[in-house]
Structure 1
Amino acid sequence: MNEVQCSGQERSLWSCRYKNITAEDCKHSEDSSVRCNVPYMGFEKTVRISGGRTRYEGRVEVLQTEANGTLRWGLVCGESWGTPEAMVICRQLGLGYANHGLQVRLSGGRSVYEGRVEVRVGQRWGSVCSEGWGTTEAMVLCRQLGLGFSLHAITETWYWDGSNTTEMVMSGVKCTGEEMALSQCQHHKNVQCQKAAARFSAGVICSETASDLVLNAPLVQQTSYIEDRPLHMLYCAAEEDCLSQSATKANWPYGHRRLLRFSSQIHNIGRADFRPKAGRHSWVWHACHGHYHSMDIFTHYDLMTSNGTKVAEGHKASFCLEDTECDEGVSKRYECANFGEQGITVGCWDLYRHDIDCQWIDITDVKPGNYILQVVINPNYEVAESDFTNNAMKCNCKYDGHRIWVHNCHIGDAFSEEAERKFEKYPGQLNNQIS
């Protein structure tokens, strides 16, 4: 959205006047932001509903900032509410339809949180072609219906009665994940659905809770170093495609590859466990390292120029998702040994040490210069999360052909102007030596 103009009477931002945005219109430095608060007796308060059976009901509590700066949740007196404590039951907005220009609903599921996706065209309801339907599109649909987050995007009909199929009225849905409704996503003007995909319709399972992964940026900065690793120690890595293309032309087993190595610690700070998209029946056994891969790609590692041109890359297939360590009072639930269940429990983290195969970027062919190290977890949105904005991490790098300095590692996909000004002035780190 660009040049948004509201009168103040609108109930939704979509009801304000605005222009459609293009890449040239606006930079991230111009992003709109807001801080909402409700003044109350000199304090700012944040409201929550607690103790209910769902997130739509419960005891009303407010977060109060006291004179000494501490925060405390407190109850709202229920005198005028007719109860000792203020209670509320909220209506689930949009359930069955939504007022964003295109009515949608879920049909045939076992509960209101799942089913076949149907949209209303004129006076009739129809289904959505399953072709291209994925987690991102399912996220938007769940958001539009007010049902929280996408737990699974379904492209088959075994979840509901296939005999009661409806006409295909929408196809080619492609969302970025930021939209508030399917009508704001790209889709075909006329229905185009390949014969194989036309047998199925798009479906979804929504959930009130979701995981939220975040990287430990300081750990990447603290553990970064260069290693010249002999080729005879990289056969497994080559088999798993963890080296750059020029490695195929090397004189194996002689010579070496230069690797930028670092540790990666991934925390789940959400409200649901992070689980692989597919069940263990589809996991692939890799004999070289002796483990199952539960996701095709779990992390992207990229080295880029300041203008975003990629000069080297790496990737982390999901060796195994497990609880390496947990916060105090939280028990581990997932481990990879003996074909165990994989995942990351809420309050736990998975640690990939710097000395594990493929925990690197092959920089053998990289010339000296200033670069940006970028790490992105769950890059293809294969598993739903409550927040994808904290899945990316960036660092400044300076490589002189012998050593590499990694600094200013932070969560997010952009650098501040201050960070850019300091790019050339960073004095370096003594521990970033060639081993």
Structure 2
Amino acid sequence: MLQIKYTMNLIVLIILLIRTVKVVSKNVSENERALRAEFVQKLLNKQNKFEGKIKLVGGSSKYEGNVYIYHAGRWGAVCDDNWDDEAAAVVCRSFNLSGIATVGSQYGEATEKFWLDDVICQGDEPSLSKCVFNRWGSTDCDKDEVAGVICMDERQLPTNRKDQDSVQLVYKEEKLRDVIDISMSKLRLTGGKNIREGRVEIFLNGTWGSICPDGWTVYEASAVCRHLGLGYAEQALQTYVFGFSNIILSGVSCEGNESTLFDCKHKQRGNVKCPGDIGHTAAVVCTHFLADLVLDMTVIERSAHLQDVMMYQLQCAMEENCLSRTAYEVQKLIPDWQYETRRLLRFTASSLNAGNAEFRPYLPKHLWQWHLCHMHYHSMEVFATFDVLDYNGLRVAEGHKASFCLEDNTCMNGVQKQYSCKNYGDQGISVNCSDVYMYNIDCQWVDVTDVGPGDYHFKVAVNPHARVAEQNYHNNAALCNLRLTSTYALVYGCRHERP
């Protein structure tokens, strides 16, 4: 009874408070309203000022620590998936320093939500937010997977011989075959349930040892499976489930098309430093059956063209963040923004599955996203990326397509279509079928309104982060020449490369 009475009194008090606020608000003078509006605007400007800012947390100085980025009014962590020295260079440049990457929450577990995952940088971007990554807040990372950096001035590097050697172990990358006797070196998988899986061990200087999993990706795993004649890499694992042995090799880095692991680069061997969880080693699962997407370069060259479109026709695309930042500034500043135009570089992208297994999205069906504008589910957040680059490789414009659905649009003779985006159907790309995104589909473009006339590179990539395993990744991207004028765009000279 007392509880009910207390609750009723609380409700009455809240109602009286609301009425009081309303009365006070009604009596506010125009000058007071203007002051309040100015105060709110200052708060908003402060948020915009910090947008994309970086801070380092947990280090012994302000120049090292876990990386946090400011977005939408709050700080968030950065996941260490695909985190490397190029990304660290972008972060440390804000301090006018050089830097190296750290992973595995080296400076403590995440204290905020993750904002960025699968960050891919060239190293020359003006800020971390200009690198390629999954959409803001989209991540599958745990709190012990925070990316970090150590920033330092190159002029302050140690000069005595002992310290200089240790620094070279961190920075210098060399191909294995250039520094070891490959006739006396071997590779094997151990600890697995069958010969196609297990912990990767390498025989160096008369002893077997494991490989540090720091930076271990499907590209390195592909070289291992090819080296052992076991086909292709289905999974690249950083795990303890296949057992543990002394780690004698770290910093392994492959392009993904090497015939042996000995063609890959490394940073340290012998007595090595391996960050991350104790007991975790590099492991692989190999298979002879995988998809293989091949991006059709001819279709891109033939279909690319410019189109000027009024913004009232692009409202659905704007909801999915498919235009460049200035479009949203126009929306805020110009009352009749709907009648402003954007210049779009439109093109068709066709991806043929030339492998011997179906290409399926990595997210389970219950995690697919419903897109109201397109009226169907999208199964992959980042299936393709579109970038306009200058001749120094600096990104000057990029596509902002939020996510993608996968389906069989066209198939070779005798092949039956089985995947469709309609009616919550299964999604994927069958063997010898193509997923085709036509140039007239929303967001199948790059907003080049702010790009001046001139010669550029145009890069289109599918499965850019290798989230789905494939036989070959060096046919997933098309790097083309792009000539932009005031009246037309010409895309030509495309060639295949890795995303």
- TM bin, normalised by shorter chain, reads 0.5 to 0.7
Q: Residue 202 of structure 1: which of 271, 282, 285 is its match?
A: 282
Q: List per-residue Cα deviations over 1:314-342 (Å, max 9, x = no partner).
A: 25555112211211111223233444433
Residue number in structure 1 paired with 2:273: 192
Residue number in structure 1 paired with 2:322: 242
Residue number in structure 1 paired with 2:473: 388
Q: 1:166 to 1:349 in 2, by over 3 A?
A: same
Q: 1:258 to 1:120 in 2, by over 3 A?
A: same
Q: Distance in 2 between matches of 1:363 and 1:328?
A: 38
Secondary structure of the 2:188 match is: strand
Q: Distance in 1 between matches of 2:184 and 2:445?
A: 47
AA partner of residue 325 (structure 2): Q
Residue number in structure 1 paired with 2:229: 146
Residue number in structure 1 paired with 2:383: 298
Q: 1:176 to 1:250 in 2, by over 3 A?
A: same
Residue number in structure 1 paired with 2:112: none
Contact 1:170 1:191 in 2 (8 A): yes
Residue number in structure 2 paired with 1:174: 253
AA partner of residue 427 (structure 2): Q
Q: Distance in 1 between matches of 2:185 and 2:279?
A: 24
Q: Distance in 2 between matches of 1:279 and 1:200?
A: 26
Q: 1:154 to 1:283 in 2, by over 3 A?
A: farther
Secondary structure of the 1:110 match is: coil
Q: 1:318 to 1:332 in 2, by over 3 A?
A: farther
Q: List per-residue Cα deviations over 1:92-124 (Å, max 9, x = no partner).
A: xxxxxx956642211222321112222334554
The two structures, once aligned, show a CA RMSD in angstroms of 3.1
Contact 1:303 1:310 in 2 (8 A): yes
Secondary structure of the 1:335 match is: coil
Q: Distance in 1 between matches of 2:191 and 2:382?
A: 33
Q: 1:123 to 1:186 in 2, by over 3 A?
A: closer
Contact 1:285 1:291 in 2 (8 A): yes
Q: List per-residue Cα deviations over 1:356-403 (Å, max 9, x = no partner).
A: 2221011010112233333222233333433333333244443322x2
Max Rg structure: 2
Q: Distance in 1 between matches of 2:184 and 2:291?
A: 30
Residue number in structure 1 paired with 2:421: 336
Q: Distance in 2 between matches of 1:241 and 1:137?
A: 34
Contact 2:478 2:497 in 1 (8 A): yes
Q: Distance in 1 between matches of 2:357 and 2:428?
A: 11
Q: Percent identity?
A: 41
* Aligned-pair CA distance for 1:144: 1.2
Describe how 1:173-322 pairs up with structure 2 within 5 A. Answer: 173-183=252-262, 184-189=264-269, 190-195=271-276, 197-252=277-332, 253-254=337-338, 255-280=340-365, 283-286=368-371, 289-306=374-391, 308-314=393-399, 316=401, 318-322=403-407
* Aligned-pair CA distance for 1:295: 3.6
Q: Residue 406 of structure 1: which of 462, 476, 490 is its match?
A: 490
Q: 1:215 to 1:357 in 2, by over 3 A?
A: same
Q: 1:358 to 1:113 in 2, by over 3 A?
A: same
Describe how 1:33-48 pairs up with structure 2 within 5 A. Answer: none
Secondary structure of the 1:115 match is: strand
Q: Distance in 1 between matches of 2:312 and 2:244?
A: 58
Q: How many residues align?
A: 311
Contact 1:277 1:383 in 2 (8 A): yes
* Aligned-pair CA distance for 1:135: 0.9
* Aligned-pair CA distance for 1:408: 3.1
Q: Distance in 1 between matches of 2:363 and 2:182?
A: 33
Secondary structure of the 1:143 match is: helix
Are residue 372 (structure 1) and residue 451 (structure 2) matched? no
Q: Residue 106 of structure 1: which of 189, 202, 213 is its match?
A: 189
Q: Distance in 1 between matches of 2:366 and 2:194?
A: 26
Q: 1:317 to 1:268 in 2, by over 3 A?
A: farther
Q: Distance in 1 between matches of 2:186 and 2:211?
A: 13
Contact 1:389 1:412 in 2 (8 A): yes
Q: List per-residue Cα deviations over 1:191-226 (Å, max 9, x = no partner).
A: 33334x334322211112332222233322333232
* Aligned-pair CA distance for 1:138: 0.7
Q: Distance in 2 between matches of 1:100 and 1:239?
A: 59
Are residue 349 (structure 1) and residue 430 (structure 2) matched? no
Moved more, 282-291 or 363-372: 282-291
* Aligned-pair CA distance for 1:292: 4.4
Greater per-residue helix proportion: 2
Moved more, 275-284 or 386-395: 275-284
Q: Distance in 2 between matches of 1:117 and 1:287?
A: 46
